[in-house]
């Protein structure tokens, strides 16, 4: 029986790379896609030229503007155009493996177990994925291949940009051991210092602690999670689109955020991505969820069931923001925030109305909503996302 092989494909600086591809005059210059300088909001992504100045996704735009030189280009996201490129990429990847799980607009997992007999060794499969993407959309991607999702994801990060890293099952320990603690998902602002005070600096150091010791220092949940990751233990299941339980988007901030407008703008941006993917896949969701993480890996999830299914950006955003506002969280520093939608209805449910786009938190029927989004998407595809966008009403309190 052939061993499990999972491939993770991650487009390099996706939004920024599309802009540089379509505008050759932007090549080689720092470029930020996200909020406009002088306004509230965050960086959606940035070019590698901008990253040299320490700028990264989810950084407040004010901080990015302070760090970057005057020649920097600032652009608003064109979600519709990026979504079309994403669809082209995912279609191309389906020619390599029948099991492709799109986890966001710019990354996907592929189950390539047993594909060696059809394509060749794992390195050849990875190179084919990179070549197919470049031939299809003219962009570069970093590819990681490993025995499970965790190792594949870490491998794709290992040699960005335009990298290809293969980690076989018997190489997992050697791959993980020299890497810094920061590669382990789930280390918070309190848990990381605890491990550092214990003299731990690399994954190899963590591997020397027993599960019991990690639980004593970090708590049962976090200790177990870190122990499993340090030993390369993770799921090797890839879900095809038909099995997708939900669509979500979350952001980890470089610095903890207390500004309510930054949090609000971040959720609005996440809702645009989630809503767009749902509409393109013909999905309507009945459950909106909110995920938030504070200091010390304190993580909370909240969800609500909607009276009618939706794939509307604004409705997803409004419900998630209402979940946030319903809790006593205002003023607490936020490390991570995100939202998702699931509880799918069949596409026949599109006949069911989804609510008024323009009234805060109403859920009454509005048969025009689907046509509004169809029209907006059509206009955006022809003239660009900036030509017409649905905004969010600013709070006056």
Note down the domain range covering 336: 244-387
Q: What is the pTM of this model?
A: 0.71
Both structure tokens of 15: 């939004």
Whether 182 and 161 share a structural domain: no
Q: Are residues 62 and 185 in the same domain?
A: no
The answer to whether 58 and 73 have CB atoms below 8 angstroms apart is no
Any idea what the CATH number is for the domain that residue 370 is in? 3.30.1490.100
In a domain, 121, yes or no: yes
**pLDDT, tens digit, for every residue of 144-165?**
999 999 999 999 999 999 999 9
User: Which of 204, 230, 256 is the last residue before a domain boundary?
Assistant: 230
Whether residues 160 and 183 share a domain: the answer is no
Strand ranges, E, within 221-364: 246-257, 284-293, 299-310, 334-345
The answer to whether position 201 is within a domain reads yes
Residue 233: pLDDT over 80? yes
Give yes or no for residue 142 having a pLDDT over 50: yes
Q: What CATH number should be reported for the domain holding residue 225?
A: 1.10.150.20
Indicate if 255 and 381 belong to the same structural domain: yes
Domain match, 278 and 383 both: yes
Note whether residue 105 is domain-resident: no
Is 394 inside a domain boundary?
A: no
Write the pLDDT tens digit of every residue in 28-54: 999 999 888 988 778 889 999 999 999
pLDDT value of position 384? 47
Residues 217, 250 within the same domain: no
CATH at 15: 3.40.1170.60
Tally of CB atoms within 10 A around 358: 10
Kindly state whether residue 99 falls inside one of the protein's structural domains.
no
Let me know whether 21 and 159 are in one domain: yes
How confident is the model at residue 370, as a pLDDT?
61
Using CB atoms within 10 A of its CB, is residue 2 exposed (0-12), middle (13-18) or buried (19+)?
A: exposed
**Are residues 162 and 32 part of one domain?**
yes
Tell me if 108 sits within 8 A of 304, measured CB to CB: no
Would you say residue 389 has pLDDT above 80? no
Q: pLDDT for 321-368, tens place per residue? A: 999 999 999 889 998 899 999 998 854 444 333 333 233 333 444 555
Do 124 and 221 share a domain, yes or no?
no
Q: What is the pLDDT of residues 279-333, one digit of tens each?
A: 877 889 999 999 998 876 788 999 999 999 999 999 999 999 999 999 999 889 9
- Rounded CA separation 376/395 (Å): 25
Give the active site residue among 84, 101, 107, 273.
107
Provide the CA 262 distance to its chain's centre, in angstroms: 17
Based on the residue annotation, tell me whether 107 is a catalytic residue of this protein: yes
Residues 72 and 195 in one domain: no
Please count the structural domains in the chain: 3
33 and 123 together in one domain: yes
pLDDT of residue 185: 82
19 shares its domain with 161: yes
């Amino acid at each position: 029986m052939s061993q499990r092989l999972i491939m993770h494909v991650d487009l390099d600086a996706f939004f920024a790379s599309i802009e540089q591809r379509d505008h050759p005059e932007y090549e080689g210059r720092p470029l930020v896609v996200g909020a406009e300088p002088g306004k509230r909001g965050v960086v959606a992504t940035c070019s590698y030229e901008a990253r040299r100045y320490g700028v990264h996704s989810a950084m407040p735009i004010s901080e990015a503007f302070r760090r970057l030189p005057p020649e920097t280009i600032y652009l608003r996201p064109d979600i519709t155009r990026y979504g079309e490129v994403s669809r082209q990429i995912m279609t191309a990847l389906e020619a390599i493996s029948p099991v492709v799980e799109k986890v966001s607009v710019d990354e996907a997992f592929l189950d390539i177990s047993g594909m060696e007999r059809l394509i060749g060794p794992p390195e050849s499969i990875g190179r084919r994925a990179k070549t197919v993407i470049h031939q299809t959309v003219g962009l570069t991607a970093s590819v990681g291949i490993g025995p499970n999702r965790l190792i594949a994801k870490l491998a794709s990060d290992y040699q960005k940009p335009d990298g290809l890293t293969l980690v076989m099952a018997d190489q997992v320990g050697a791959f993980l051991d020299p890497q810094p603690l920061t590669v382990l998902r789930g280390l918070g602002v309190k848990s990381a210092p605890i491990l550092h005070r214990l003299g731990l600096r690399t994954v190899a150091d963590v591997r020397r602690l027993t599960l019991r010791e990690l639980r004593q220092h970090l708590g049962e949940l976090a200790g177990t999670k870190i122990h499993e990751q340090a030993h390369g233990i993770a799921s090797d299941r890839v879900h095809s689109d038909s099995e997708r339980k939900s669509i979500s988007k979350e952001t980890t901030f470089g610095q903890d955020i207390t500004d309510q407008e930054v949090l609000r703008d971040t959720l609005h941006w996440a809702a645009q991505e989630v809503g767009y993917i749902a509409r393109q896949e013909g999905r309507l969701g009945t459950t909106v969820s909110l995920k938030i993480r504070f200091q010390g890996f304190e993580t909370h999830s909240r969800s609500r069931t909607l009276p009618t299914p939706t794939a509307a950006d604004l409705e997803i955003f409004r419900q998630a923001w209402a979940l946030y506002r319903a809790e006593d969280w205002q003023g607490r520093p936020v490390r991570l925030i995100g939202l998702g939608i699931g509880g799918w209805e069949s596409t026949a449910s599109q006949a069911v109305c989804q609510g008024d786009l323009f009234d805060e938190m109403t859920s009454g029927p509005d048969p025009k909503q689907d046509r509004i989004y169809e029209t907006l998407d059509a206009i955006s595809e022809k003239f660009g996302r900036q030509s017409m966008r649905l905004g969010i009403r600013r709070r006056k309190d």
